[in-house]
Structure 1
Amino acid sequence: MASAAEQLASNISFDSFRKATELKKRLWFTLGALVLFRFLSFVPIPGIDPRAMASLFNTQRGGVLDFFNTFSGGSLERMSIIALGIMPYITASIVIQLGAALHEPWKQLKKEGEVGRKKLNQYTRFLTVVLTTVQGYFIATGLETLGANQGIAAVVEPGMLFRAAATVSLVGGTLFLMWLGEQITSRGIGNGISLIIMAGIVATLPRTLAQLFEGGRTGTMDPLLIMTIVVVVIGLILFICFVERAQRRVLVQYPKRQTARGLMQQERSHLPIKINTAGVIPPIFASSLLLMPLTVLQMAGGNADPNAASSELLITISTYLQHGSPLYLFLYGAGIAFFCFFYTAVQFNSEETADNLKRAGGFVPGIRPGKATEQYFDYVLNRITVVGASYLVLLCLIPEIMLSQAGVPFYLGGTSLLIVVNVTMDFVSQVQSHLIAHQYGDLIKKAKLKGRRR
């Protein structure tokens, strides 16, 4: 028999959505916040020539600039006040999470509950300001020299005044996005930070699809190739949906307890472990590390002496790390696998899970509580992570091969698809949860009214 929650979920209709006024308010707030995010992506930082910036960015494609431009919704290409997007906040969050898992004082803070969580959030915000300030200053400095060889100046009046204004604008834009994401999480639907990233990726899709089908119309791309790309993308989306919902359910038993009727009943539950515990972190880290040398060459090497030893080294590195090269594909896959195992070990603490299970009186059938349970969790987690890492490597390498062989736009990368599908699934599940909670509330109100009439 289906559970009550499953029955309510199956009975969700448009009428129930129409009556859920609180859900509609949250949806409108989320939509308004995302529209505001898109408006800010068209506001340039002071002292930038937009036309010169657009022409220069087209000559700098192929590095990590394209990667971050995708997540910022084209803001980096226009050098808007939110050009850095939310990536500094994500980097700071990852660093603080790693510190909370490895640094003993931060471990204690993590165990203090709500108070410790607030302190760690403050550390994350402070680190975000530091990272954004450093990145913003280097971007402002690079913009002053960008395009010197082509005779194009992206900055109208270079100098310390421009650097200060650009750095302050970029820091303010990132902090505003961080605040906006927190507001979406508390007053809207879904995770605000994830929705902002997804909105940036989705905003680039219309132009990408237009370029794709325009290539078929003009004859620069084979129509059969376009159909193959569409089929592969749909297949990858279905593949992501299947794997992201897959999990290993570890059976957990609790000692027999006396019920209200005096019977001894043994409780059973399951500990779910996702196949892809690391999420989208491994592809983001691996891409950033691999594409950084090429970006350094594009931003700084263009104005350096071509005969210098450092310039020759950068040119050699960028040649071997071009998209689609065998070395790039190998290092990209190895980096994804490494970060998948590393971040999974940080996210799932086997020792802490085994201790919590032991305190609650639970145990895994056939496994002794304590150290043996911890070793069992490590064994299961390692086997699952092999599957998860293989899934991420396959998902990210297939689009990279298509990019190099067929010239598909960069925005159709596996990381982008992974983020969009994950966030969409989470958004839909939260909307369904709100509708189910609303239906539960209606049933409780009806029960109370019937009780009063009696």
Structure 2
Amino acid sequence: MARTSYTDNLSISGKLTDLKQRVLFVIFGVIIYRFGAYIPIPGVNPELLEKFFHNQSSSLFGLFNMFSGGALYRFSIFSLGIMPYISASIIMQILSSVSPTLEELKKSGEAGRNKIMSYTRYATFVLALVQSFGISRYIASNGLSFVSPWQFYCISVLTLTAGSVFLMWLGEQITERGIGNGVSLLIFASIISGLPRAIFHTIEQARNGNLSIVVMLLVFLTVIGVVAFVIFFERAQRKIPVYYANRQYSGKNSNSYSSHLPLKINMAGVIPAIFATSILVLPSTLSTWFASYHHMGWLSLVSLYLSYGQPLYVVLFVVAV
């Protein structure tokens, strides 16, 4: 009896040690990610860059900056964030449903899934290369760099692509050696990176009298309620009963039994919201870019109506989701 208890204690201690190592690995990976988000790419004027991105906060750059945890506005080595990997994963999932070859690989077990994962990594590299060249060209064309264009392209494209590929690798390592999905944890770390600043700003407004204590408490309780509501629906599932009739094995009858098939209420997760935001922000961004051209002044109205928080934006967002 005592030996059994000693063995159980050793098993529990081993599990706790493994859990501790996994948690520490996740923390270490997130620290590396946040540290890299503050390392800027050389050759860019920081003052002009801050002013430029401040005017683009409601455009596609604002969305990318949120998912990169503010790295894009600082034009750091992790400016692209994990978005190229997410885009490549979504593309591969869609192609797996329409391509017979990829669909066959998807059904061929672990080897097929590893092959699809390799294709996803290659697609991530290509997307990161294209996106890094596009944003580098856009920044150089707006006079935000103080080096020659081609020199800036070489430095920026190589650094941004390498940073995005590194984040892909880091996310996979967190998934394998840490807790949960590594890519989701990196996105979560990016989004909540602005939370301390928002809390400090709210407290400072309440201290200066610009915001009453009652309103601040209502905002705090509303945030807690929304988070609890989201968690409730994320965890909620409907149990579809499955009944098995009597079966006969080796001449013996087995008793009938029942089970259930868990069906989550929110099967799609946050993917529809991300898609809807990306689709709505793209026309607004293009309208802002081309509104300065001759006979294109009407695009300013399009950009205004499709800005974040406008009634038309809210209606289209709900419909798209």
Structure 2 counterpart of 1:164: 154
* Letter paired with 2:233: V
Give the counterpart of 1:331 among 286, 299, 316.
316
Q: Are 2:224 and 1:253 aligned?
A: no
Q: Is the 8 A contact 2:243 2:258 kept in 1?
A: yes
Q: Is the 8 A contact 1:132 1:170 kept in 2?
A: yes
Structure 2 residues not aligned, in runs of 5+: 1-11
Give the counterpart of 2:275 among 238, 260, 285.
285
After superposition, residues 252-331 of structure 1 pair within 5 angstroms as 252-258=242-248, 262-298=252-288, 300-301=289-290, 304-305=292-293, 308-310=294-296, 312-331=297-316
Q: Is the 8 A contact 1:40 1:81 kept in 2?
A: yes
Alpha-carbon distance in structure 2 between the residues aligned to 1:103 and 1:64: 30
Paired residue secondary structure (1:175): helix
Greater CA deviation, 104-113 or 173-182? 104-113
Alpha-carbon distance in structure 2 between the residues aligned to 1:126 and 1:41: 23
**Normalised by the size of structure 2, how large is the TM-score?**
0.90
Alpha-carbon distance in structure 2 between the residues aligned to 1:213 and 1:17: 43
Q: Are 2:81 and 1:96 aligned?
A: no
Q: Is the 8 A contact 2:242 2:259 kept in 1?
A: yes
Alpha-carbon distance in structure 1 between the residues aligned to 2:15 and 2:165: 36
Alpha-carbon distance in structure 1 between the residues aligned to 2:224 and 2:27: 26
* Letter paired with 1:220: N
Q: Are 2:53 and 1:68 aligned?
A: no
Structure 2 counterpart of 1:217: 207
Q: Per-residue deviation at 1:130?
A: 1.6
Alpha-carbon distance in structure 1 between the residues aligned to 2:35 and 2:251: 63
Alpha-carbon distance in structure 1 between the residues aligned to 2:15 and 2:158: 45
Structure 1 counterpart of 2:118: 122
Give the counterpart of 2:232 among 217, 233, 242.
242
Alpha-carbon distance in structure 2 between the residues aligned to 1:26 and 1:179: 17
Structure 1 counterpart of 2:184: 194
Q: Per-residue deviation at 1:60?
A: 2.1
After superposition, residues 427-438 of structure 1 pair within 5 angstroms as none
Matched residue count:
312
Q: Per-residue deviation at 1:287?
A: 0.6
Q: Per-residue deviation at 1:297?
A: 4.2
Q: Is the 8 A contact 2:172 2:182 kept in 1?
A: yes
Alpha-carbon distance in structure 2 between the residues aligned to 1:211 and 1:156: 34
Give the counterpart of 1:56 among 33, 52, 74.
52
- Residue 36 and residue 261 in structure 1: after superposition, are their counterparts in 2 closer, same or farther (change >3 A)? farther
Alpha-carbon distance in structure 1 between the residues aligned to 2:15 and 2:262: 34
- Residue 137 and residue 267 in structure 1: after superposition, are their counterparts in 2 closer, same or farther (change >3 A)? same
Paired residue secondary structure (1:94): helix
**Normalised by the size of structure 1, how large is the TM-score?**
0.65
Alpha-carbon distance in structure 1 between the residues aligned to 2:299 and 2:13: 57
**CA RMSD between the two structures:** 2.3
Greater CA deviation, 158-167 or 273-282? 158-167
Structure 1 residues not aligned, in runs of 5+: 1-15, 147-152, 337-454
Q: Per-residue deviation at 1:328?
A: 0.9
- Residue 17 and residue 220 in structure 1: after superposition, are their counterparts in 2 closer, same or farther (change >3 A)? farther
- Residue 224 and residue 41 in structure 1: after superposition, are their counterparts in 2 closer, same or farther (change >3 A)? same
Q: Per-residue deviation at 1:258?
A: 4.6
| Deviations 1:136-160 (CA, angstroms, capped at 9, x unpaired) | 11101111133xxxxxx42111411
Paired residue secondary structure (1:323): coil
Q: Are 2:150 and 1:154 aligned?
A: no
